């Protein structure tokens, strides 16, 4: 006779996905992985000269995630972690590119497990607000809201995220229009500074 507890245990082990919460590591499942170094982040930081003077191979952040269903599947979820290294380009802290979801109404959760940072949230009306990221902070990102995480500490900032499998990512809007605020280091502490008006491209 099959022991029901044993088969439950086996089923749990067979699925075999494990996370290391604090490291932001996952194993036991086919994983997607992406690393962004400074060279990939052309136009992201406001001080272009400072950006050009740095080694383009410097890693700024890495993401690992699992896609249990195909991208664009309605009703599924993706799960992953992001690690942003400590550092700055000039006076601007290392941060993610940031994006709206391609399907604008899709929301997301972020949960910080290590480090110190700020989550910049911007609505389609370009009004921005900040949430402080620290171990244990949970952030609900509503739909129609661009999001970017900024590492304001001197150690890696690590957070988990869960988002709909059909959310998609719109990076172009932010690449063209930027966030309406930047998090810059002023006198040793982070300050929330309005983005300079963008030149009108003809
Ligand atoms: C997914 C999500 C995160 C980010 C990651 C890297 O919707 O918000 O997993 O993708 O933190 O940031 P981006 O994608 O802005 O380079
Ligand atoms: Zn997102």
Q: Which fold has domain 22-194?
A: Jelly Rolls (2.60.120)
Q: Is the CB of 144 under 6 A from ligand 1?
A: no
Q: Is the CB of 98 under 6 A from ligand 1?
A: yes
Listed in sequence order, the residues at least 6 apart from 194 whose beta carbon sits closer than 8 Å to its beta carbon are 180, 181, 182
Tens place of pLDDT for every residue, the chain, 202 residues? 556 655 555 554 556 789 999 999 998 878 899 999 999 999 999 999 999 999 999 999 999 999 999 999 999 999 999 999 999 999 999 999 999 999 999 999 999 999 999 999 999 999 999 999 999 999 999 999 999 999 999 999 999 999 999 999 999 999 999 999 999 999 999 999 999 765 444 4
Q: Where along the chain do its domains lie?
A: 22-194
Query: pTM of the entire structure?
Result: 0.91
Listed in sequence order, the residues at least 6 apart from 116 whose beta carbon sits closer than 8 Å to its beta carbon are 133, 134, 151, 152, 153, 155, 157
The preferred substitution site among 82, 118, 159, 168 for testing ligand 1, maximizing ligand atoms within 8 Å of CB, is: 82
């Amino acid at each position: 006779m099959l022991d029901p507890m044993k088969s439950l245990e086996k089923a749990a082990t067979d699925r075999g996905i494990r996370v290391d919460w604090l490291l932001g590591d996952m194993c036991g499942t086919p994983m997607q992985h992406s690393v962004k170094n400074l060279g990939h982040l052309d136009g992201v930081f406001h001080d272009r000269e400072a950006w050009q003077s740095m080694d383009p191979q410097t890693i700024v952040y890495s993401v690992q995630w699992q896609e249990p269903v195909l991208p664009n599947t309605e009703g599924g979820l993706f799960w992953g972690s992001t690690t942003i290294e400590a550092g700055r380009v000039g006076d601007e802290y290392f941060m993610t590119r940031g994006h709206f979801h391609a399907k604008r109404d899709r929301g997301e959760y972020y949960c910080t497990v290590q480090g110190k940072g700020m989550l910049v949230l911007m609505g389609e009306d370009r009004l921005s607000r900040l949430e402080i990221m620290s171990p244990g902070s949970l952030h609900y990102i509503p739909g129609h809201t661009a999001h970017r995480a900024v590492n304001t500490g001197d150690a890696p900032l690590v957070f988990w995220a869960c988002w709909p499998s059909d959310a998609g990512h719109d990076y172009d809007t932010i690449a063209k229009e930027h966030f309406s605020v930047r998090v810059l280091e002023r006198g040793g502490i982070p300050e929330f500074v309005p983005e300079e008006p963008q030149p009108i491209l003809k």
